[in-house]
Amino acid sequence: MKLGVFAVLFGDRPLEAALDKIVEAGLQAVEIGTGGYPGNTHCQPDELLGDADKLDRFKRTIENRGLTISALSCHGNPLHPDKEIAETHHQQFRDTVLLAAKLGVETVVTFSGCPGESAHSRSPVWVTCPWPEDHARVLTWQWEEKVIPYWKEQSIFLQEHGVRVAIEPHPGFVVYNNETALRLRNACGDNIGVNVDPSHLFWQGVDPAASIRELGRHDAIYHFHAKDTAVDKTNTATNGVLDTKPYSDEINRSWIFRTIGYGHGEQCWKEIISELQLAGYSGAVSIVHEDSLMPVEEGFHKAVDFLQRALIKEKAGDMWWA
């Protein structure tokens, strides 16, 4: 496995400066944002697809620094009931797949998306319980009328271009855990896999190591995000984990995103890394920083130091156990 970072973390600086910072930290891989909610500060797929010289310069800018691209990422909602948003995110996804094919990048990361409750909705509706019966009916409609037809079509498109997609399970979208991720994969094609991000699993009560083991049995792990979550025991004890307060209201929330090691300790992360190895995952461990209590630079370097201790440094063929 290679240690890498999602470059949107350094979206406040040009691509060259961001890459220099990544190399200086001793990383080997970079994940590039191409649209969706994180944005595309460092990469505009439509421009690169329309200009061979720009595309070549972009590729050499990364390769000349000894870095590999672990994935292109366009975390969007192509199933959004607002047609303008849906079409924008859909086109960004398609352009990202085309760009990945030209760059020789195997994996595109995104969300599954989430429709509304009917053809007349204006906003996405995430169903979290089966009763009253309206919820169960909405869920059936979403999967049968929107989710499966859309991703079956994208699976064909991916196959045509030799690219695979890593869906990131995330609450608020129809794929948010193993069960929903595997449902999508089984219904639409095995070029649809998972981008495992423990931060979205921890607060749901999911054990990321156990999640990885199950996904590994299905050869479904296509990418990995290294991000942590701290669960506030007091707030959770009184209000549970479903929390709609702003992320900036840290002291009152049931959980918040944290830099690696500030939510769960080294042993927990060693177990996660071990399960990735047992699953045969050889891709990047891509650092993501969304810690509202820590500046980006500090969080980035702390994550690098922490993960360098947890990652395997053995010769090929040797096995390491946490």
Q: Inform me whether the pLDDT recorded for 318 exceeds 60.
A: no
Listed in sequence order, the DSSP H helices in 173-232 are 178-188, 198-202, 208-217
Compute the average pLDDT of residues 261-287: 96
Q: How many domains does the chain have?
A: 1
CATH number at residue 165: 3.20.20.150
* Contact call for residues 228 and 199 (beta carbons, < 8 A): yes
Report the C-alpha gap between 148 and 144 in whole angstroms: 6
Q: Is residue 232 part of a domain?
A: yes
pLDDT of residue 140: 98
Compute the average pLDDT of residues 245-250: 97
pLDDT band at 312 (very low <50, low <70, confident <90, very high): low
* Contact call for residues 218 and 194 (beta carbons, < 8 A): no
* Contact call for residues 100 and 34 (beta carbons, < 8 A): no
Going by DSSP bridges, is the β-strand pair 255-258/228-231 parallel, antiparallel, or unpaired? antiparallel
Those residues whose C-beta lies under 8 Å from the C-beta of residue 20, and which sit 6 or more positions away, are 65
Q: Is residue 112 part of a domain?
A: yes
Q: Is residue 246 part of a domain?
A: yes
In this predicted model, what pLDDT tens digit does every residue of 4-39 receive, in sequence order? Answer: 999 999 999 999 999 999 999 999 999 999 999 988
Q: Inform me whether the pLDDT recorded for 314 exceeds 60.
A: no
pLDDT band at 265 (very low <50, low <70, confident <90, very high): very high
pLDDT band at 262 (very low <50, low <70, confident <90, very high): very high
Q: Inform me whether the pLDDT recorded for 319 exceeds 70.
A: no
Q: Is residue 13 part of a domain?
A: yes
In 3-state terms, what secondary structure has residue 10? helix
Q: Residues, the chain, total?
A: 322
pLDDT of residue 321: 43
Residue type present at position 152: K
pLDDT band at 189 (very low <50, low <70, confident <90, very high): very high
Report the C-alpha gap between 195 and 181 in whole angstroms: 10
Compute the average pLDDT of residues 73-87: 98
Q: Identify the domain containing residue 306 by its residue range.
A: 2-310
Secondary structure letter of residue 147 according to DSSP: I
DSSP run (H or E) holding 138: helix 133-141
Report the C-alpha gap between 98 and 86 in whole angstroms: 18
* Contact call for residues 181 and 173 (beta carbons, < 8 A): no
Q: Inform me whether the pLDDT recorded for 1 exceeds 60.
A: yes
Q: Is residue 317 part of a domain?
A: no
pLDDT of residue 317: 42
| Cβ-count burial 284-308 (b if 16+ within 10 Å, e if not) | bbbbbbbbeebeeeebbebbbebbe
In this predicted model, what pLDDT tens digit does every residue of 141-172 receive, in sequence order? Answer: 999 999 999 999 999 999 999 999 999 999 99
3-state helix, strand, coil in the chain (%, to 5): 45, 15, 40
Gyration radius of the chain's alpha carbons? 19
Please state, rounded to an integer, the average pLDDT across all residues of the chain: 95
In DSSP notation, 209-258 reads HHHHHHHHHTT-EEEEEE-EEEE-HHHHHHH-S---S-TT-GGGSSEEEE
Q: Inform me whether the pLDDT recorded for 135 exceeds 80.
A: yes
Q: Inform me whether the pLDDT recorded for 199 exceeds 70.
A: yes
Q: Is residue 146 part of a domain?
A: yes
DSSP bridge partners of 195: 223
| Cβ-count burial 211-242 (b if 16+ within 10 Å, e if not) | bbbebbebebbbbbbbbbbbbbeebbeeeeee
Q: Is residue 322 part of a domain?
A: no
Report the C-alpha gap between 225 and 109 in whole angstroms: 10
Q: Is residue 141 part of a domain?
A: yes
